[in-house]
């Protein structure tokens, strides 16, 4: 083991090389990039992304990003393609082939077959004079000055450039389609991320009770109601209008303030103008409002009509936090 290597400097040099490579890509965004984006937007099929070696791994990541942002996409390994996987390709598909050199044996064998299908072929390539580049309909230039690898061999800077170019294309497609967070949620229904994007306040509050009291309710009624519904609060309703909320905190403050509780009512101890949220809002928005106001409950409404209470614990149970 060599002990005199400056590890921090090596790491910084690597990141600087890769950052510079990505920055250099800005100058490669040309009309071909625009035409590729428009071709994919107008296609009737899917995007087929192919590559070999490390480029194949980047191709798989591109496919995952495309699919999750509204662009149907399939990965096809360049080596497997010439052994049967060419059947994946349909007549309306757009093919993106990734290769640093553009001259690997697998690519040279594959490209003529791709040309025979008549599909649009896009080369994401680091050598503009390569076999792949010359055969492609469009070129996405991912040329780099050198690899971060000290031997200038292991794909590092070049795959970073491919990854960034793929992300740029995916984001352009997503933006052109006006692909919203609601659309995104359709493709990410699982886990906390999915719940943040689709779970509504009503999905939580409808499972709770709807504790409420009249303003003249006595303290015993207030405490019994809060205890019964286990939401740490109850709404105070007067002739159908929400006029306040009584929380566990209000009860504690009452005990500190008053010696004689016998004549107190909900009206005396409630918090006026309570924070509310519409039942159709996303549950994650409820979390934001609770954090902003440093509270644990929100009154749930529909057209200003009381619908229930959503509690911080509801969000915890669903993994929103």
Q: Are residues 118 and 257 in the same domain?
A: no
Domain of residue 171: give its range: 7-179
Q: Is residue 189 part of a domain?
A: no
Q: What is the mean pLDDT of the chain?
A: 92
Q: What's residue 237's pLDDT?
A: 97
Q: Among the three residues 146, 179, 212, which one is the final residue of a domain in this structure?
A: 179
Is 300 part of a structural domain of the chain? yes
Would 168 be classed as within a structural domain? yes
Q: Are residues 207 and 133 in the same domain?
A: no
The pLDDT, as a whole number, for residue 45 is 95
Looking at residue 186, what is its pLDDT? 65
- pLDDT of 196 reads 73
Residue 272 and residue 171 share a domain: no
- C-alpha 102 chain-centroid distance: 33
**The two three-digit tokens of residue 94, written as one number:** 């757009």
Q: Is residue 76 part of a domain?
A: yes
Q: Are residues 22 and 171 in the same domain?
A: yes
Q: Domain check: are 166 and 214 in the same one? A: no
| Residue 196 covered by a domain | no
- The side-by-side arrangement of strands in the sheet containing 297-302 is 276-278, 297-302, 305-311
Cα 230 to Cα 224, 233, 237, 301, 308: the distances in Å are: 10, 8, 19, 19, 13
* Alpha helices (H) along 118-156: 131-135
Verify that 211 and 104 share a domain, yes or no.
no
Q: Residue 121 is encoded by which pair of tokens?
A: 């072929």
Consult the annotation and say whether 3 binds a ligand: no
Rounded to an integer, the average pLDDT of 268-276 is 95
Say whether pLDDT at 185 is over 90.
no
How does pLDDT run across 211-247, given as a tens digit for each residue? Answer: 999 999 999 999 999 999 999 999 999 999 999 999 9
Length of the chain as a residue count: 321
pLDDT in tens, 22-53: 999 999 999 999 999 999 999 999 999 999 99
Instruction: Establish how many alpha carbons lie within 13 A of residue 145's alpha carbon, considering only the half-sphere containing its beta carbon.
Output: 10
- Condensed to tens digits (0 to 9), the pLDDT of residues 63-101 reads 999 998 889 999 999 999 888 888 999 999 999 999 999
Q: Is the pLDDT of residue 194 over 70?
A: no
Which tops the pLDDT comparison, 117 or 169? 169
Rg (CA), the chain: 30
Whether residue 115 sits in one domain with residue 85: yes
Number of domains in the chain: 2
Query: Which residue(s) pair with 73 in the sheet?
Result: 47
């Amino acid at each position: 083991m060599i002990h005199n290597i400056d590890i921090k400097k090596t790491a910084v040099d690597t990141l600087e090389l890769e950052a510079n490579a990505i920055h250099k890509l800005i100058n490669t965004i040309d009309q071909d990039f625009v035409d590729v984006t428009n071709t994919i937007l107008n296609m009737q099929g899917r995007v087929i992304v192919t590559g070999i070696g490390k480029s194949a791994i980047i191709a798989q990541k591109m496919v995952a990003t495309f699919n999750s942002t509204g662009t149907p996409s399939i990965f096809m390994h360049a080596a497997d393609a010439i052994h049967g996987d060419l059947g994946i390709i349909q007549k309306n598909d757009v093919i993106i082939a990734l290769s640093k050199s553009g001259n690997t044996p697998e690519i040279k064998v594959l490209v003529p077959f791709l040309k025979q299908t008549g599909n649009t072929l896009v080369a994401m390539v680091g050598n503009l004079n390569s076999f792949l580049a010359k055969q492609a309909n469009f070129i996405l230039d991912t040329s780099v000055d050198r690899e971060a690898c000290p031997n200038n061999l292991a794909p590092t800077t070049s795959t970073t450039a491919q990854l960034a170019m793929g992300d740029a294309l995916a984001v352009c497609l997503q933006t052109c389609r006006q692909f919203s967070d609601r659309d995104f949620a359709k493709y990410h229904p699982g886990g906390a991320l999915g719940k943040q994007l689709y779970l509504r306040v009503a999905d939580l509050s409808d499972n709770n009770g709807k504790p409420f009291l009249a303003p003249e309710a006595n303290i015993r009624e207030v405490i019994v109601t809060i205890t019964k519904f286990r939401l740490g609060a109850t709404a105070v309703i007067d002739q159908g209008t929400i006029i306040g909320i009584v929380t566990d905190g209000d009860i504690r403050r009452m005990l500190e303030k008053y010696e004689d509780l016998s004549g107190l009512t909900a009206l005396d101890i409630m918090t006026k103008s309570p924070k509310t949220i519409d039942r159709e809002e996303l549950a994650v928005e409820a979390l934001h409002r609770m954090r902003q106001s440093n509270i644990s409950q929100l009154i749930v409404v529909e057209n200003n009509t009381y619908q229930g209470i959503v509690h911080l614990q509801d969000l915890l149970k669903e993994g929103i936090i």
